[in-house]
Structure 1
Amino acid sequence: MPDERWNELFAALRSNRDRAILALAVSNGARASELLGVRGVDLDWGDQLVRVVRKGTLAEQWLPASAEAFIWIRLYLAEGPPLDPQAPLWWTLRRRDHGAGLAYQTMNYEALRAVFRRVNTLLGTNWSMHDLRHTAALRMARDESLSLRDVQTILGHAHLSTTADVYLVEEEAQVIRRVQEHLAEVRDRAKPPPPTVAGGYEASDLDVLFGGGQA
């Protein structure tokens, strides 16, 4: 997802809860089920880490998150009831059965899908949580300060080949641009040095004589 499309998606969100979830997803590539399972106790505010239970292995793992994600989490929590550290982090207001009014309920995958349905309808797009995971992976993979092993660890891939095969994908336009820059450098290195002018002659006179000024 290009940065401008991410900004467009983020601007279309209606709540701080949704902004917090998507900001987390795009910063560390955690899966939807992993983020939805986060509890209050799984937030490390000091080191800006979030603990998730990995899909498949069910192993707990601390993941880094952006400062922006924690800002949106704080704003979201300020809007609702006091957070129980052992309770799920994400809640949604739903109408109770028999018209008994609204009540807080744990946010599930269907509620998160509804967030994307609304935004996609508004923007005419088809984004999903997997797109955010893919975007986070590509951003990390293209950062020269991170190794492929770093990316594998954060994404929770069991095999390094999975990370390499799926996420080390370069956009064709970027590849073409870099190769063009390479060819330009080769061309510049191959250029012969300018000829030296013998003593007693003016360079401008030689240009006129040999047509150098027209080259």
Structure 2
Amino acid sequence: MFDEVERNVGSIRLPRWGRVVSAAGSVPWLVVDPDGVPVEPVRRFLVEFVARDNRPGSVRSYAYDLLRWWRWLRAVGVDWDKATPAEVRDLVLWLKQAAKPGQRPRTKSAGTAGCVNPITGKRHQGDQYEPRTIRHSNAVLRSFYQFWIEDIGAGPLINPVPQERVKGRRPNSHHNPLEPFRAEGRLRYNPRVPKRKPRAMPDERWNELFSAMRSNRDRAILAVAVSNGARASELLGVRGVDLDWGDQLVRVIRKGTRTEQWLPASSEAFVWIRLYLADIGDLLDRDEPLWLTLRRRDRGTGLRRQPMNYEALRAVFRRVNAVLGTNWSMHDLRHTAAIRMSRDESLSMRDVQTILGHAHLSTTSDVYLVEDEAQVVRRVQQHLTDRQQPQQPPPVAVGYDDADLSVLFGRNPQ
């Protein structure tokens, strides 16, 4: 039985075996061995994954999780098609105590890793694997083995990533006899994720962040993001044709559904976009990306401005955070825009849901209708202060004697 397998997971070190590489063809990312040969089980799964209309970013994320799984199997000496829940259990235990591999050791951020920033109230990224990373790894492995066991008919006899049974009712109680039986419930080895409440950026912090930007391009990106809460990937995909200058709208491609949607932006945002376009001095083609690098680079076609990618946007925030001593990110702007809209009495939650691109209204209301604890504490403190102040009795009306009323109601005369 797999329960009898015991390993000292603290002593296991993953080998630097294989890598994830970009590839030409239908699958944009592949896992290859040290000789550069694609790992066939992973390649076949990723082909199916791409055919189900998953985005290249998701393919890359799945490939890295499967590369870590292959390295883990080599470290414990188990073939991929002989894996049991014991290997998944031990991998989860290892991820909970292992440090993430980095390209270079921390320098300035070594003292703040895992700590809460006193200005933003956000926790700095730590050196350990986050619970969400472990849950994502379990989900990837379960879907990988589900593909091989149910679709191909190969691999281990059971899925190494088991699910817990739902408490309070019989599993598969409404099972369709024409469909295969499926396990129900949460994944057994998933760690609990602490619920993080979104926090709006205070106006003074927003002014500091906006003032610290070094270019009109960066100011324009922030102004658009705080106007409609668009995600970073959605904003970076905006082209020249996606700007409606007359109605002050920006067209984005939604992250999940890949549908086009026009979003409003403030008049100030379009002013900063105009200033940014004047700075670069180039005539922007309608089909070219809106956001370009400020420096020209030669990529084989001469010196040209390149489309701005996510890493370049992160570098913008790294520079400004180093100056301000903060750890803001683009997602903080999305939270700020969402909370500002949700607290506006002229906007309904359905309006906020539409602008944010949430599929369900419950997602919007459950996340952004939660009161900020700091604001609640301040209001309660003000309530207690008001209660402690002595209450002065109202003045005696004309025609009544204050001494007579004091005798009648048993109080001291003023």
Distance 1:90 1:97, change over 3 A: closer
2 CA distance for matches of 1:42 and 1:168?
31
Cα deviation for residue 86 of structure 1 reads: 1.3
Q: Secondary structure at the match of 1:131?
A: helix
- Whether the aligned pair in 1 keeps the contact of 2:250 and 2:262 (CA below 8 Å) is yes
1 CA distance for matches of 2:377 and 2:405?
37
Any residues of structure 2 matched to 1:98-117 within 5 Å, and which? 102-117=303-318
Distance 1:173 1:195, change over 3 A: farther
Q: Does 1:42 align with 2:242?
A: yes
2 CA distance for matches of 1:173 and 1:106?
40
Q: Percentage identity across aligned positions? A: 75
Task: State the AA in 2 paired with 1:62.
Answer: W
2:332 maps to 131
1:142 maps to 343
2 CA distance for matches of 1:196 and 1:48?
61
1:74 maps to 274
Distance 1:75 1:168, change over 3 A: same
Cα deviation for residue 49 of structure 1 reads: 0.5
Q: How many residues align?
A: 207
2 CA distance for matches of 1:54 and 1:208?
72
More helix by share: 1
Find the partner of 1:30 among 224, 230, 245: 230
1:158 maps to 359
1 CA distance for matches of 2:246 and 2:253?
20
- Whether the aligned pair in 1 keeps the contact of 2:238 and 2:251 (CA below 8 Å) is yes
Task: State the AA in 1 paired with 2:239.
Answer: R
- Whether the aligned pair in 2 keeps the contact of 1:28 and 1:63 (CA below 8 Å) is yes
- Whether the aligned pair in 2 keeps the contact of 1:138 and 1:169 (CA below 8 Å) is no
1 CA distance for matches of 2:371 and 2:379?
11
2 CA distance for matches of 1:65 and 1:182?
38
2 CA distance for matches of 1:126 and 1:180?
29
Cα deviation for residue 53 of structure 1 reads: 0.4
TM-score normalised by L of structure 1: 0.84
Structure 1 regions of 5+ residues with no counterpart? none
Q: Does 1:170 align with 2:366?
A: no
- Whether the aligned pair in 2 keeps the contact of 1:24 and 1:65 (CA below 8 Å) is yes
Distance 1:58 1:103, change over 3 A: same
TM-score normalised by L of structure 2: 0.45
Q: Secondary structure at the match of 2:279?
A: coil
Find the partner of 2:290 among 83, 89, 96: 89
Cα deviation for residue 102 of structure 1 reads: 4.9
Distance 1:57 1:87, change over 3 A: same
Distance 1:67 1:177, change over 3 A: same
Task: State the AA in 1 paired with 2:341.
Answer: M
1 CA distance for matches of 2:223 and 2:394?
53
Cα deviation for residue 197 of structure 1 reads: 5.8
Q: Secondary structure at the match of 1:212?
A: coil
Q: Secondary structure at the match of 1:79?
A: helix
1 CA distance for matches of 2:328 and 2:289?
25
Cα deviation for residue 103 of structure 1 reads: 2.7
Cα deviation for residue 170 of structure 1 reads: 1.8
- Whether the aligned pair in 1 keeps the contact of 2:297 and 2:306 (CA below 8 Å) is no
Task: State the AA in 2 paired with 1:96.
Answer: D
Q: Does 1:5 align with 2:205?
A: yes
Task: State the AA in 1 paired with 2:312.
Answer: A
Deviations 1:10-59 (A, max 9, x none): 11100111100011001100000100010111111111110000001010
1 CA distance for matches of 2:299 and 2:259?
36
Which 4+ runs in 1 deviate beyond 4 A?
A: 176-186, 191-199, 205-210
Cα deviation for residue 207 of structure 1 reads: 8.1
Cα deviation for residue 165 of structure 1 reads: 1.6
- Indicate the RMSD between aligned Cα atoms, in angstroms: 3.1
Q: Secondary structure at the match of 1:78?
A: helix
Higher relative CO (CA 8 A, sep ≥ 6), structure 1 or 2? 1
Structure 2 regions of 5+ residues with no counterpart? 1-200
